[in-house]
Chain A
Amino acid sequence: MYPPRFSLIVPSTLDEALEILSKYGENAKVLAGGHSLIPLMKLRLASPKYIVYIGKLQGLSYIREEAGRIHIGALTTHATIESSDLLAKRNPLLSETASRIGDLQVRNMGTIGGSLAHADPAADYPAAMMALNAEIVAKSIRGERVIKASDFFKGPFTTALRSDELLVEVRIPALNGFFGTAYEKLVFRAMDFAIVGVAAMLEIDKTGTIVKAGVGLTGVGSTAVRAKGVEEELIGKPASIDTIVKASARASENLNPPSDIRASSEYRRAMAVVMTRRALSRALEAAKARMKGQG
């Protein structure tokens, strides 16, 4: 409950922040909303020498559409994402996912940049990142790079970010056509991290054929994963419950989830299938509703 001592650096511009990161490297820890880092420090499971507080940086909290993609600033809070009108229309998967994170207070402080950089293997956003083929933008004094979600998560609490890099933006598609999305999170108690979480996105065409599919799973391994087998099984198939049931069965392919005090590996594998089916069913309903509404 009493964090260890550290020295504080509060940059006021992005450039300053990048300067500092390049100077202090491994010794410095970025602090955004603090809702992963501070809990660790309170239990003294982390004791960085320097903390670089980026919460005062202007211009890192936004949600806007640019050229068919939605750009989200790293400091955008879960609460902002949850209640964004733009996302509600153009990518409700991310807002639904945000709405299922932690609790009301956590969502008021936690940021998407912090969540992704922290890379908790049971965090919620990573499932959506996988389902949506998101891109993550990292910046350093050396320049900017765009990392694919599938290349970003390297292991539990490890990402492709280098110690001098700041995560500045997340990019996800602005969805079009007859699409539907859903995030299904299995918890034994509200406010907990997911036992298994499944983010699903589907698009169907006028003929009732699935033309796009994205399915991401969290809580089932060292990082979130993309359920390629499920997606394969969906694309080009008729948009029916049968298709979904068949496809969902492949959700546990290649999974080797952890066993812990909460749930066994076997349970998680089984639930990956169940939650995938539930998420896809709901996504399909939404897609069909959209078709009805527009057709």
Chain B
Amino acid sequence: MEALEKVRITVKVNGKIYTHDIDPRLLLVHYIRDYLGLTGTHVGCDTSNCGACTVILNGKAVKSCTLYAFMADGGEILTVEGLEKDGKLHPIQEAFWENHALQCGFCTPGMIMTLYDFLSRNPRPTEEEVRRAIEGNLCRCTGYQNIVKAALWAAERMRGGGGDE
């Protein structure tokens, strides 16, 4: 068992496979942003509180600033850039646009990814449950009200309903 100064990792990100030799100390968020150029994943804090860096790792929302990139080795990652299908916005993305759930947009990718995880496990959430789900995602602009509205709207869309326009 030798101690490594560099590690080779292979990850699947938004459907594409990447292999890189990296420093063990490289944070996953920096790997995603700087090595893969996927800058939709943001950095908003240094205490793991803001959630702007949230991505889906192996099906679950995680704060990519609080993982070393090597921890994702062999895993599958979905970032906000990978949500569109056939040039169409994902229902959560559409919901954010439709319900004015973003202002500066800095928190938005993280919010969307957290909701992606949450809604996949809770297709019929209450407003209170949505608020709990995003408690690890800070937004300074919106007061959260329209984000919550968007989440409920998206949930309905994803269940096959029409959204409440």
Contact = CB atoms under 8 A, between A and B. Distances in A.
Q: Do the two chains belong together in a single complex?
A: yes
Interface of A: 1-11, 16, 19-20, 31, 34-35, 38-39, 41-43, 50-51, 53, 55, 79, 102-106, 108-109, 190-191
Given A8-B24, A43-B46, A190-B135, A16 B1 contact: yes
Contact of B48 (A16, A53, A106): A106
B25 A6 contact: yes
Given A34-B66, A105-B51, A108-B60, A7 B5 contact: yes
A123 to B, nearest CB: 15
Given A1-B43, A42-B65, A104-B61, A8 B70 contact: yes
Contact of B63 (A10, A20, A79, A105): A105
Interface size class of B (residues with CB under 8 A): 35 or more
Given A7-B24, A34-B67, A38-B68, 15 more contacts: A1-B27, A5-B23, A5-B25, A7-B3, A7-B4, A7-B5, A8-B4, A9-B2, A11-B1, A41-B25, A42-B48, A79-B60, A105-B51, A190-B135, A191-B136
Contact of B71 (A5, A53, A106): A53
30 contacts: A1-B46, A3-B25, A5-B23, A5-B25, A7-B3, A8-B4, A8-B24, A8-B70, A9-B2, A9-B3, A10-B4, A10-B7, A35-B66, A38-B27, A38-B48, A38-B66, A42-B27, A42-B65, A103-B136, A104-B61, A104-B136, A105-B136, A106-B63, A106-B66, A108-B60, A108-B61, A108-B117, A109-B62, A190-B135, A191-B49
A237 B61 CA distance: 46
Nearest to B25: A3
Interface in B25-55: 25, 27, 43, 46-49, 51, 54
B46 A8 contact: no
Given A8-B3, A108-B61, A103 B66 contact: no
B62 A105 contact: yes
A171 to B, nearest CB: 26
A129 B89 CA distance: 46
B158 interface: no
A105 B54 contact: yes
Contacts of B46: 1, 42-43
B79 interface: no
B93 interface: no
Tell me which of A4, A10, A103, A109 has the highest count of chain B C-beta atoms within 10 A of its own C-beta. A103
Contacts of B114: 104-105
B117 A104 contact: yes
B80 to A, nearest CB: 15
Nearest to A190: B135
Nearest to B7: A8
A6 B137 CA distance: 30
Q: Chain A's interface: helix, strand, loop or mixed, by majority?
A: mixed
B41 to A, nearest CB: 13
Nearest to A17: B1
B24 A6 contact: yes
Given A5-B25, A7-B4, A79-B60, A190 B132 contact: yes
Contacts of A79: 60
A2 B1 CA distance: 26
Nearest to B43: A1
B137 to A, nearest CB: 8
